[in-house]
Amino acid sequence: MREIVLDTETTGFDPQQGDRIVEIGCLELYNHMPTGETFHVYINPERFMPDEAFGVHGIGADLLQPPQEPKPGQITLRDKPLFKDVGQGFLDFIGDAKLVIHNAAFDVKFLNAELKWMGLPQIAWERAVDTLAIARKKFPGSPASLDALCRRFGIDNASRTLHGALLDSEILADVYLELIGGRQPDFGLNTASTSSVDSGHQDDWRPFQRPAPLPPRITEQETAAHAAFVEAMGDGALWKKLSE
């Protein structure tokens, strides 16, 4: 099962009021485990950056009014691609996977607005797995922010001094795995190869479809004997009805 953990950063709260996406961060899970595949872009929103949004994520000092000289390591946006340059690549990456998002209504609203303006397919709401809703249902009355859930599950988020889409996706992946029962939600039945661990390499094995079906395990004689046995039961035999 393929899932995409996703987060965005924006210039504000409402795309219909002119706010835009400035960062998208995604990482891939396969059977609830990170594969190492990511999609990460910064985007020029073609507008100024409100002080309130800049205070949250620290992106786009060059889009403030008046523009600020960026500090070392600070991300500027004037030279970044527009959403129209990365929208199709984003859709190609997520494919038809489920999307794991914290407060999914916010991110899907922005993504669908940007995709609609480009004339690209929009994201169906039912594709979103909202970890905020899961946390509120699982821990009613308790704080359900990403930081609060990190504290609850003992997840290190010390590097999260500001919001960042890819970093938040990485943290959210850990939170999501805890919300659904830990890193082995299948009770450890999905065993991993130890040879890759011993050699110091991560095993990115995935199941694949066989090029040819396995041959049947029953012989032709057994098949014929079974057919004769069923035939002897008469036309009202339940087995015949089930095999129609």
Asked whether 23 and 116 are in contact (CB, 8 A), the reply is no
Residue 201 annotated as catalytic: no
36 touches 13 (CB < 8 A)? no
* Catalytically annotated residue among 32, 57, 102, 163: 163
The two beta strands, 33-42 and 98-101, are unpaired
Count of alpha carbons within 13 Å of 25, Cβ hemisphere only? 18
Angle at 162 between CA 156 and CA 165, to 5 degrees: 85
Which helix (DSSP H) or strand (DSSP E) does residue 117 occupy? helix 104-118
Contact 115, 122 (CB under 8 A): yes
Name the residue with tokens 């087995």.
239
Catalytic residues: 163
